[in-house]
A and B are shown apart, each in its own frame.
Chain A
Amino acid sequence: MKARVTVTLKSGVLDPQGQAIQGSLKSLGFDGVGAVRQGKVFDLELGDADRSQAEANVRTMCEKLLANTVIENYTIEITP
């Protein structure tokens, strides 16, 4: 079983890296781009056989390590 965790900054948290990327895209001629927010993706290989158990485990991993929930949100996708 595999999991993909996507971690993004909460709205309202300043993202200077996203802003720099937006500026760079603009300088390349992509004028239509609005706000850019940078995040992280983690692909995990899991030993769990049970889907709901896997999701529960990954949720705990996010709360304990993968995300800092003061400033970040996370989403979890489980695939076989």
Chain B
Amino acid sequence: MKAAVVVFPGLNRDRDMIAALTKIGGEAPAVVWHKDAEIPKVDLIVIPGGFSYGDYLRVGAIAARSPVMDTIRDRAAHGVKVMGVCNGFQILSEAGLVPGVLMRNASLKFVCREVKLQIENASTPFTRGYKQGQIIRCPVAHHDGNYFADAETLARVEGQGQVAFRYADGTNPNGSINDIAGVFNEKKNVLGLMPHPENLIEAAHGGSDGRQLFSGLLNAA
């Protein structure tokens, strides 16, 4: 599977994401600067974490309106898988590619810690490396991860299996509604999640619970 990582000014988790995709997929992803005219033909587009455009206006808002997002929206509509992690999730939600919005953490504090995640829907390309209901460890590091959607949207997201991950065992770090840590679009080919699975893939990280997300996604061992 071929992957591309899209980089906006102000992102800082791109190298971790490139390392994870390379180590687990066995092939380095294409790295696309947001001003590049084209995204190569790939099966997976990843927007990593960071602070695109300094989080000006609203987190992810400026990046979500950049021209490269039109390309990503078009690819997603044609079935290409798209994943946004942390700021990438914020960008996807601002672009309307996944439902809901990420607000300032309820504690108003930046949180950098490990949480537990329950796999809520294991029958998608992103989560097929896990068992339904499995609980994994995963790091988070964000100031604006407080997921919110209006009642109608939330009912739809819950009812259509669009919740990918939920903070488990009372580890919700940010006040997210229904403990939601990651959501899919309706077709389940776009995933946004606040936690950083790319930062828990090998012994040197202190664990490898994030690995199966990539191995399942990339069809790699």
Show the binding face of A for B, using Cβ within 8 Å: 13-14, 16-17, 20, 64-66, 68, 70-71
Q: Is the interface of B mostly helix, strand, loop or mixed?
A: loop
Contact A71 B65 (CB under 8 A): no
Which of these binds chain A: B39-47, B104-112, B130-138? Answer: B104-112
The answer to whether the Cβ of B101 comes within 8 Å of any Cβ in the partner chain is: yes
Contacts of A20 in B (CB 8 A): 108
Contact B106 A16 (CB under 8 A): yes
By beta carbon, the residue of chain B nearest A9 is: B103
Instruction: Report the separation of the CA atoms of residues A16 and B148 in the bound assembly, to the nearest whole angstrom.
Output: 13
Contact A64 B65 (CB under 8 A): yes
Instruction: Report the separation of the CA atoms of residues A65 and B96 in the bound assembly, to the nearest whole angstrom.
Output: 12
Q: Which of A14, A64, A66, A70 lies in contact with B149, CB distance below 8 A?
A: A70
Show the binding face of B for A, using Cβ within 8 Å: 57-58, 61, 65, 94, 100-101, 103-108, 146, 148-150, 153, 175
Q: Which of B61, B104, B175 lies in contact with A17, CB distance below 8 A?
A: B104
Contacts of B61 in A (CB 8 A): 65, 68
Known contacts A68-B61, A68-B94, A71-B148: does B175 contact A14 (CB below 8 Å)? yes
Contacts of A68 in B (CB 8 A): 58, 61, 94, 101
By beta carbon, the residue of chain A nearest B99 is: A70
Instruction: Report the separation of the CA atoms of residues A66 and B56 in the bound assembly, to the nearest whole angstrom.
Output: 11
Contacts of A64 in B (CB 8 A): 65
Contacts of B104 in A (CB 8 A): 16-17
Instruction: Report the separation of the CA atoms of residues A68 and B58 in the bound assembly, to the nearest whole angstrom.
Output: 9
Chain B nearest CB from A6 CB (Å) reads: 15
Contact B106 A71 (CB under 8 A): no
Instruction: Report the separation of the CA atoms of residues A22 and B65 in the bound assembly, to the nearest whole angstrom.
Output: 34
Contacts of A14 in B (CB 8 A): 103, 106, 146, 148, 175
Chain A nearest CB from B39 CB (Å) reads: 23
Contacts of A13 in B (CB 8 A): 103, 148
Contacts of B58 in A (CB 8 A): 68
Contact A70 B108 (CB under 8 A): no
Chain B nearest CB from A38 CB (Å) reads: 10
Q: Which of A65, A66, A70 lies in contact with B101, CB distance below 8 A?
A: A70
What 4 pairs between A and B have smallest CB-CB spacing?
A: A70-B101, A16-B106, A16-B108, A71-B101
Instruction: Report the separation of the CA atoms of residues A14 and B108 in the bound assembly, to the nearest whole angstrom.
Output: 12
